[in-house]
Amino acid sequence: MSDEKFTTDIITLTRHVLDEQRKHKEASGDLSILLNAIQLGCKFVATNVRKARLLNLIGLAGGAQNFSGEEQKKLDVISNDIFINALRSSGKVSVMVSEENDEAIFVEEGLRGKYCVVFDPLDGSSNIDAGVNVGTIFGIYRVLKDSVGSVSDVLRPGREMVVAGYCMYGSSANMVISLGDGVNGYTLDNSIGEFILTHPNIQIPPRGKIYSVNEGNAKYWDEACTEYFHSLKFPPEGKSPYSARYIGSMVADVHRTLLYGGIFSYPSDKKSKNGKLRMLYECFPMAFLVEQAGGRATTGTKRVLDVIPESIHSRCPIFLGSKDDVEDVEKIFHKYN
């Protein structure tokens, strides 16, 4: 094998975080430790998602579908437990908010740290039966000055997050993360157990050709939303209509949007006044990443990252993606509001 083809100087996520840390003289290394806990959680979930898929195959072959269904439901709970334990024992977290827990979780004195983590341990888990990609979404806030950790530390706009990311569990595990200075993508190398930099400095194309929305809700959309999606399907003479792609797993739909451009949306409608997706651990981290990659994210009338959540599980409508596409949404909503 020629020497040039064998890279020995690989950039792992941990190395990238340590490099970032060195740029800030006052940095204590706490964030690096916290991100290691998140990486551990993601590796654990990645391996279990794979096992669950295997169980599913065995289940189908043996007709034990209920058993496999049960196992997969448990995966949500197991994933949640692994994240909570890893985050708590890192000693760097005071408050956790998980999609799986009705209330915020406060870390006991002695183990508390200066960060709060909001996360959805296994988003899109209803898709596991079909082998569709699922993912973990997370955001990190610093606790407010003089706080020992309370709900007000996380009831803050998404723009105040210091880190946002997701890990998508597909044919490989892909971690996409922003420390507030651009977006990088890492792929888990199972043989060494490390996330390796494979997608440096992700930039979302300024305009795309794909729209991604649950069109089954079209009956309930408001006029602005209806007009916008109609405009993509029936463009003026000489322009091509957009293609539709909707996986129904936010991490996978946003991942594609980040790489290829276009628009992903879960709008409000007559049934769901605030859409479906939760601000803290779905909309904010994804909006943060998309903005850091040069795109935009709006509720239709407001920048997503400026919305202040009323409660930890508050929802908001979202349109995110390529800058020009999101600006088209904003223009149409402006006409109606």
Residue pair 79/45 in contact by the 8 Å Cβ criterion = yes
Residue pair 321/262 in contact by the 8 Å Cβ criterion = yes
Q: Are strands 243-244 and 210-212 parallel, antiparallel or unpaired?
A: parallel
Write a three-state SS string for 82-125: HHHHHHHHHCCEEEEEECCCCCCEECCCCCCCCEEEEEEEEECH
Residue 249 beta carbon to ligand AHM: minimum distance, rounded to whole angstroms: 5
Q: In whole angstroms, what is the distance from residue 149 CA to residue 95 CA?
A: 6
Residue 212 beta carbon to ligand AHM: minimum distance, rounded to whole angstroms: 9
Q: Which is nearer to ligand AHM, 16 or 315 (CB)?
A: 315
Q: Which residue has the tokens 């295997």?
A: 54
Q: Which is nearer to ligand AHM, 99 or 330 (CB)?
A: 99
**In terms of C-beta density within 10 A (0-12 exposed, 13-18 middle, 19 or more buried), how is residue 163 classed?**
buried
Residue 98 beta carbon to Mg ion: minimum distance, rounded to whole angstroms: 10
Q: In whole angstroms, what is the distance from residue 247 CA to residue 58 CA?
A: 25
Q: What are phi and psi of 176, to 5 degrees?
A: -120, 125
Q: Which residue has the tokens 């040039």?
A: 4
Q: In whole angstroms, what is the distance from residue 16 CA to residue 31 CA?
A: 12
Q: Which is nearer to Mg ion, 17 or 46 (CB)?
A: 46
Among 125, 265, 268, 274, the residue binding ligand AHM under the rule CB under 6 A is: 125
Is 77 a binder of ligand AHM (CB under 6 A)?
A: no
Size of site (CB under 6 A) for ligand AHM: 12
Is 276 a binder of ligand AHM (CB under 6 A)?
A: yes
Residue 11 beta carbon to Mg ion: minimum distance, rounded to whole angstroms: 30
Residue 156 beta carbon to ligand AHM: minimum distance, rounded to whole angstroms: 21
Q: Which string of x and - marks every residue 107-146 that binds Mg ion (by CB under 5 A)?
A: -------------x--x-----------------------
Q: Which is nearer to Mg ion, 123 or 325 (CB)?
A: 123
Is 194 a binder of Mg ion (CB under 5 A)?
A: no
Is 76 a binder of ligand AHM (CB under 6 A)?
A: no
Among 113, 124, 267, 295, the residue binding ligand AHM under the rule CB under 6 A is: 124
Residue 16 beta carbon to ligand AHM: minimum distance, rounded to whole angstroms: 27
| Interface segment toward ligand AHM; rule CB under 6 A; list 118-126, 191-199, 305-313, 321-329 | 118-126
Q: Which is nearer to ligand AHM, 114 or 229 (CB)?
A: 229
Residue 278 beta carbon to Mg ion: minimum distance, rounded to whole angstroms: 7
Residue pair 141/154 in contact by the 8 Å Cβ criterion = yes
Chain residues 211-250 in contact with ligand AHM, contact rule CB under 6 A: 214, 248-250
Is 155 a binder of ligand AHM (CB under 6 A)?
A: no
Sign of the C-alpha dihedral computed for residues 87, 255, 176 and 41 taken in this order: positive
Residue pair 256/135 in contact by the 8 Å Cβ criterion = no
Choose the one of ligand AHM, Mg ion, none that binds residue 276, judging by a C-beta under 5 to 8 angstroms depending on kind. Answer: ligand AHM
Residue 145 beta carbon to ligand AHM: minimum distance, rounded to whole angstroms: 32
Residues of the shown chain interacting with ligand AHM in the complex, contacts defined by CB under 6 A: 99, 120, 123-126, 214, 248-250, 266, 276
Residues of the shown chain interacting with Mg ion in the complex, contacts defined by CB under 5 A: 120, 123
